[in-house]
Amino acid sequence: MNTDNLLDDVKIKAQTWLGPEYDADTRKKVQELIESNEKELIECFYRDLEFGTGGLRGIMGVGTNRMNIYTVGMATQGLCNYLKKEFISISQIKVAVAHDSRNNSRLFAETTANIFSANGFKVYLFDDLRPTPELSFAIRYFRCQSGVVITASHNPKEYNGYKVYWDDGGQIIAPHDKLIIQEVQKIKSIDEVNFNSRPENIEIIGKEIDEIYTDQITTLSLSPEIIKKQAGLKIVYTPIHGTGVNLVPMVLKKFGFRNVICVPEQNKPDGNFPTVHSPNPEEHAALSLAIKKAEETDSDIVMATDPDADRVGIAVRNNRGSFVILNGNQAASLLIYYLLTRWSEKKKLTGNEFIVKTIVTTELLATIARHYHVPCYDVLTGFKYIADVIRQFEGKKTFIGGGEESYGYLAGDFVRDKDAVISCALIAETAAWAKDQGKSMFELLLEIYKEFGFYKEKLISLERKGKSGLEEIQQMMKNFRSNPPVAINNVKVSEVIDYLDDASLRRINEKNKGIKIPRSDVLQFITNDGSKISVRPSGTEPKIKFYFGVKDKLTDISDYEKINKLLDSRIENIMHDLKLQ
């Protein structure tokens, strides 16, 4: 389709947004786009928002490709229609709704709740912003059939999103995700959305659930006696203007930590995230104020959660006493090592436990798990797949913990999504456990490397926005498939894994102890020296992501700097070979 034809089609589509069923402000903005901004008009209307790895997510604004009360309304009505078919025998379907601190999040949450109520559903709506994992907990606590949280996680302030959860408290997966969008696509007019709220169907929930949820988290503590001795551990915590502001300090206090230091500039929820360029704990700049506070207060550890408090970034003192930010793989390794070690020391391992990680997360987790004779299952990127494994083994095996390289972790099974509230508590407990042995978290990490191997990872994301960017990403994946590298960094590629190829999937699933990985647009190249390179388009952002994993031995901790530089060089060479530099 040429540009002129696309513009004509987009204009026809946009004209439907000028009717009386749309509010005056929306009509005005659409008319302005039609008259004076054809490029933006195309971006707003050239497609409909679709469910990706996290549901709907997009830039806020007018149009079918933007987050607004109408796209939220159509998604919710489509979800209602699907739930009515799936739970036909239930007299009143129950749903829970939560939201983060972003601009318009409360509006979108109330819009969602109103449409649910108009369709006859019982709705549990949180009274104010709450962490995403608490929504997962509430779904299970109230025995809901579904739930929605309004959030765009760590995306820039222009974005918002709509994540759908199923009755197990996990995000939707196949076939529900595709079938829900089919129901949404059946809605041809906004007139088909029932906006007529029935307030009697909406129950506002709040602090009482906070108490139940946080009390449940305290049952995960494995070292209460050590925390008593290390209660003065200095912890700097920042919610980065997000939903962790109340519950993370509450849980840390319930665990027994008495020295939690906040960052005043970031302790107020604000959808504009005024102190950071991006509220992403993966980015060093997002933790700069917290690290400054930690240096001023001579603190032990820094923790920062993203706006919906499902991911956490941490900074610890290195062997020179300076704060360094750990990546998601390092934090996951520390947490899983602590959980498995303490389960073993407390003789809780019965041979019926397991952990889960994603295919792009460090293999160090699997190596540690093997040491403790605990199965480690691989799943696709996205915590919903970890939740699905927990669901499959429910009542049969015990989930200890799991994680993904993008700073998301979970322990216990009463939440079915990554949970930064739980993670902050257990990471602080890990730091207390290490300190009780006279070690810092960094020293503990080096000991893990010495025992299990020095694994190092790096992520490169190439951003390609808009329609042309999407086409470029698709072409890059096509090129890698048609011309996969034979050698990388002068090391032979021993295996190419294509998660769209049935033969590759059969091989992978045979190794994965019965857990089947579905088809996905992911490529992995494994080399003879154990390096792993993964390539995948993001399901939530306009990016293509490259994950690099290399490893070597760390015979002596004093060799850390030397081996670290060696692994850095190896990754740089791999990037050069793939023409990413």
CATH number for the domain harbouring residue 129: 3.40.120.10
Residue 440 designated active-site: no
Tell me phi and psi for residue 557, to 5 degrees: -60, -25
Query: Is there a single domain that holds both residue 412 and residue 527?
Result: no
The domain boundary, picked from 402, 432, 452, lies at 452
pLDDT of 55 higher than 80:
no
Q: Same domain, yes or no, for 36 and 62?
A: no
Span 535-578, pLDDT tens digits? 999 876 789 999 999 999 999 999 999 999 999 999 999 999 99
CA pair distance 477, 90, nearest whole angstrom: 44
Reported confidence tier of residue 5, pLDDT bands at 50, 70, 90 = confident
For the stretch 369-419, pLDDT in tens is 999 999 999 999 989 999 999 999 999 999 999 999 999 999 999 999 999
Q: What is the mean pLDDT of the chain?
A: 95
Q: How many of the other CB atoms lie within 10 Å of CB of 268?
A: 12
DSSP 191: G
- In order of 376, 387, 405, the CA distances from 401 in angstroms are 10, 11, 14
Phi/psi for 262 (5° steps) reads: -95, 165
Share of the chain above pLDDT 70, in %: 98
Domain stop point among 149, 181, 205:
205
Same domain? 86 vs 24: no
Residue 479 has pLDDT above 90, yes or no: yes
pLDDT digit string (tens) for 430-473? 999 999 999 999 999 999 999 999 999 999 999 998 888 999 99
> Are residues 293 and 351 both part of a single domain?
yes
pLDDT confidence of residue 3 = 66
Let me know the angle formed at the C-alpha of 127 by 125 and 131, rounded to the nearest 5 degrees.
80
Domain extent, residue 261, equals 213-452
Quick one: DSSP state of residue 557?
G
Q: What is the pLDDT of residues 241-282, one digit of tens each?
A: 999 999 999 999 999 999 999 999 999 999 999 999 999 999
Number of helices (H), then strands (E), belonging to the chain: the values are: 19, 21
1: pLDDT confidence band, cut at 50, 70 and 90? very low
Residues 150 and 280 in one domain: no
Give, in degrees to the nearest 5, the angle at Cα 161 between 306 and 272: 55
Same domain, 385 and 498: no
User: pTM of the predicted model, to two decimals?
Assistant: 0.95
312 and 440 part of one domain: yes
pLDDT above 70 (res 2): no
Residues 461 and 476 in one domain: yes
Are residues 336 and 253 both part of a single domain?
Answer: yes
For residues 334 and 572, give the distance between their C-alpha atoms in angstroms, rounded to a whole number.
25
Question: For the segment 105-145, what is each residue's pLDDT rounded down to a tens digit?
Answer: 999 999 999 999 999 999 999 999 999 999 999 999 999 99
- Residues 490 and 513: their CA atoms lie apart, in Å, by 33
Q: Cβ distance 313 to 281 under 8 Å?
A: yes
Q: Residue 453 — φ and ψ, nearest 5°?
A: 115, 145
pLDDT digits (tens, 9 = 90+) for 73-98: 999 999 999 999 999 999 999 999 99
Domain boundary, last residue among 205, 237, 254: 205
pLDDT surpasses 70 at 517: yes
For residue 409, what are the β-bridge partners?
403
CA atoms within 13 A on the CB side of 329: 22
Query: CB-based contacts of 438: which residues, under 8 Å, 6+ apart?
Result: none
Please indicate, yes or no, whether residues 75 and 116 belong to a single structural domain of this protein.
yes
Is residue 475 scored above 90 in pLDDT?
A: yes
Number of independent structural domains in the chain: 4
Catalytic residue among 105, 153, 333, 423: 153
What confidence tier does 54 reach under pLDDT thresholds 50, 70, 90? low
Residues 486 and 523 in one domain: yes
> Where residue 51 falls among pLDDT bands split at 50, 70, 90?
low
95 and 29 within one domain: no
